[in-house]
Structure 1
């Protein structure tokens, strides 16, 4: 008598643990599924806290409110101005950087190189040696972009004279700021600081930004949320692929540049700069996401993330119900495709504020609608769709405003929930560029990375403490 005779019907098997049992059953012609599982590693007290949060109705309602605020945000580029004039808390001695707080001596090479470039650009130092001495002197105040309503790609350096895009969340009144994307090659965000970098930054300050500001204000602002929604349907995910979004922005701003009184030669140079830089819109998608997520910050009991960011040494998250606290863990290395001539030993650990796009629900969360991205970050189209689908396990809602045609027009997964991440063991997926660890060499590849689980466990511990007190 076979086991199927005993039970009177064909059986399917689920194997948990060692795969050799699954292999034996498969050799016998049985239907078997291997469940990937591992015992929880959290302390019993944290497991109890996790269970309590998962079952708490106040937490569920707070998370729905957070997701609702995020999705209701209407974001608009309203102008450009020097950081010193608009960024809260910016002084002549302030330099903002990507990721959670970090001291000069602990910064990775890419970030230190970008700081050197900023001090040369500002005229605070005559050469690299003087810049490094000034940075180490204590006179310069280093602070995370996120703590000033700003975001920056890669090193994320913002100094007082740098023009920033001003993006307003018109639904909730929050504002966010981001520098102008310099393009590829030798650029400040990858730690370069030679003469060509300083000349480009100076031109952006003196000619590009005033002209763009005049055109944007002549238009009454530019709706960035609509551009993101359209670009996602055109194959962008608005983190590593911005071709459609930059083209849509160019379509809006080009006529205004020709009609708002900017000298024709200046308008031509501005248009050439944007058209030659497919990543220009990244520095608009990031502040658009930032001011949407800031509207969801500070909701009591909410376990929804309002920021994910990295400084090249540590990865940090912020959680709505825990306000502006950072919860950190070691930044991981990015798993992806390296450009010819580079090896994994060249790569810097994960870097930049651009994971704000994934926190919002685009970027890696929208890869299923951006099949071309896999040629840049690795994997297959099926992998991209699987990543997008898996993010629904750890989020609160679907954002119908950002619908994905290849996924039957379902909205992007929105509202990363600390509790769901820890319950499921599924970590947020981020697609990102890879910086060379030596400043100035630039981007050496792109790929996929996850946050360290320690960030989430430390946030859970803080949540347990606040609810117990």
Structure 2
């Protein structure tokens, strides 16, 4: 009997075996020197099966998710202004914004407390850290998530009324988003540091950098931030922890109007030096650009697409297109990665920051294949970066039309995290992030990799199941 051509290779070549969800079998094959391709799969939690079936059977879901993806990829992101928070957001004295879902002082982590203390000192609402802490503990300050005002803040994300913000516009959907100016790395407010050098830098940013950037942006606006993101992905950035190319392209756009701004030559020179030396200069524009993308998908009944992923150092929270402003939260995990100097795992605080909006919009950890050098900063290796991006396609509803990955034949980045797909596959979104010191005042201790707690997605799935027409309970 003749051997079929496709089967003949089994007798002459080493086999490659694909497995799914059977760990002992994979291990046994590897012990026999068999090459194994192991799929990341696991059955959904028993408690989620009913909700998963209801959501998967929702006739609205496919069209709703297609609409969410279309809106996300169509959203624009133009830098149009730089303004103080009290002017841009109407932020009142005594109200501070912070990263992540809602939080009270009593539950705040070390870096969040440090950043809030620093904001009190910066605003002149306290003379010492002890006075600031006492005022915060007594409830004299109102705490509110940045996301509740369509803003985003990296790490602790603390915004006080006097701080200057970038203002970005999506003219397609008539939305606006904001983010603070980036302080650089190390001992900075967003990582929970509040020493004299931190406060002095913030005052300089307020009195010199902010006004100069305002002049430069108003002279050059609108600056197409979405186009910069698309290009930086072609140049080795992924838009979360690697922003080198993006920062330089932004500076190229701003430099002609910045050097001719109304200010002393010394102030302009220092502003240019500070911006050019800051490899994360662009991050604080990429984040509101991604926020504009996800805002465009909000309020679509039946959509299971995630519109927010954010962390406050205590909780990780998500929101979805089909559930409005409701937060679904769980304890934030602690990143694993590479540490600065003598710092180690015991020094790291649980995950913190609004910067996971980058992954929510399809870049950052989802675009690691576009930036293999990122593994030198957050850990892992180049195959891991490639595998991560490929895996994220399994839990997203489509590909971005503007953001592409060269090494994957310019395939669009995986975009539109699908709650149902996350629960069904057990694959959690991959985030690469900075790590803040656990103790208030420490600053940055490293950078690494982290995933959200699974319960955020099972909670969201239950709420989505309850919104399916004809459903009275879950």
- TM-score for both structures, normalised by structure 2: 0.92
State the distance in 2 between where 1:354 and 1:361 align.
12
User: Do the aligned partners of 1:87 and 1:149 also contact (CA within 8 Å) in 2?
Assistant: no
State the distance in 2 between where 1:377 and 1:194 align.
27
Residue 275 of structure 1, CA deviation:
0.7
CA RMSD of aligned residues (A): 2.1
Q: Which residue of 2 aligns with 1:205?
A: 206
Q: Secondary structure at the match of 1:402?
A: strand
Q: Which residue of 1 aligns with 2:140?
A: 139
State the distance in 1 between where 2:23 and 2:239 align.
39
The 5-angstrom pairing of residues 75-154 of structure 1 reads: 75-87=77-89, 90-154=91-155
Could you tell me which runs of 5 or more consecutive residues in structure 2 were left unpaired when the two chains were aligned: 1-6
Q: Which residue of 2 aligns with 1:419?
A: 420
Residue 62 of structure 1, CA deviation:
0.6
CA pair 207-59 structure 1, distance change in 2 beyond 3 A: same
CA pair 25-197 structure 1, distance change in 2 beyond 3 A: closer
State the distance in 2 between where 1:463 and 1:337 align.
37
Q: Secondary structure at the match of 1:57?
A: coil
CA pair 129-414 structure 1, distance change in 2 beyond 3 A: same
Q: Which residue of 1 aligns with 2:49?
A: 47
Q: Which residue of 1 aligns with 2:365?
A: 364
Q: Which residue of 2 aligns with 1:3?
A: none
* CA deviation string 1:223-256 (max 9, x = no partner): 1011111111100011100100000011111111
Q: Which residue of 2 aligns with 1:253?
A: 254
Q: Secondary structure at the match of 1:96?
A: strand
State the distance in 2 between where 1:240 and 1:247 align.
15
Q: Which residue of 2 aligns with 1:438?
A: 439
Q: Secondary structure at the match of 2:346?
A: helix
* CA deviation string 1:393-424 (max 9, x = no partner): 01111112011111111111111111111111
State the distance in 2 between where 1:29 and 1:187 align.
50
Q: Which residue of 1 aligns with 2:316?
A: 315
CA pair 55-217 structure 1, distance change in 2 beyond 3 A: same
State the distance in 1 between where 2:232 and 2:441 align.
31
Residue 38 of structure 1, CA deviation:
3.9
Could you tell me which runs of 5 or more consecutive residues in structure 1 were left unpaired when the two chains were aligned: 1-6
State the distance in 2 between where 1:22 and 1:198 align.
55
Q: Which residue of 1 aligns with 2:160?
A: 159
User: Do the aligned partners of 1:95 and 1:141 also contact (CA within 8 Å) in 2?
Assistant: yes
CA pair 387-32 structure 1, distance change in 2 beyond 3 A: closer
Q: Which residue of 1 aligns with 2:74?
A: 72
State the distance in 1 between where 2:8 and 2:256 align.
74
State the distance in 2 between where 1:125 and 1:139 align.
11
Q: Which residue of 2 aligns with 1:240?
A: 241
CA pair 200-20 structure 1, distance change in 2 beyond 3 A: closer
CA pair 81-189 structure 1, distance change in 2 beyond 3 A: same
Q: Which residue of 2 aligns with 1:4?
A: none
Q: Which residue of 1 aligns with 2:3?
A: none
* Larger RCO, structures 1/2 (Cα 8 Å, 6+ apart): 2
CA pair 171-442 structure 1, distance change in 2 beyond 3 A: same
The 5-angstrom pairing of residues 255-274 of structure 1 reads: 255-274=256-275
CA pair 150-30 structure 1, distance change in 2 beyond 3 A: closer
State the distance in 2 between where 1:365 and 1:30 align.
30
State the distance in 2 between where 1:60 and 1:355 align.
25
Q: Secondary structure at the match of 1:322?
A: coil
Count of residue pairs the alignment pairs up: 460
Q: Secondary structure at the match of 1:432?
A: strand
Q: Secondary structure at the match of 1:414?
A: strand
Residue 36 of structure 1, CA deviation:
5.5
State the distance in 2 between where 1:242 and 1:151 align.
17
User: Do the aligned partners of 1:218 and 1:260 also contact (CA within 8 Å) in 2?
Assistant: no
2:391 counterpart of 1:387: no
CA pair 25-428 structure 1, distance change in 2 beyond 3 A: closer
State the distance in 1 between where 2:221 and 2:21 align.
60
Residue 41 of structure 1, CA deviation:
2.0
- TM-score for both structures, normalised by structure 1: 0.93
User: Do the aligned partners of 1:192 and 1:439 also contact (CA within 8 Å) in 2?
Assistant: yes
Residue 265 of structure 1, CA deviation:
2.8
Residue 77 of structure 1, CA deviation:
0.8
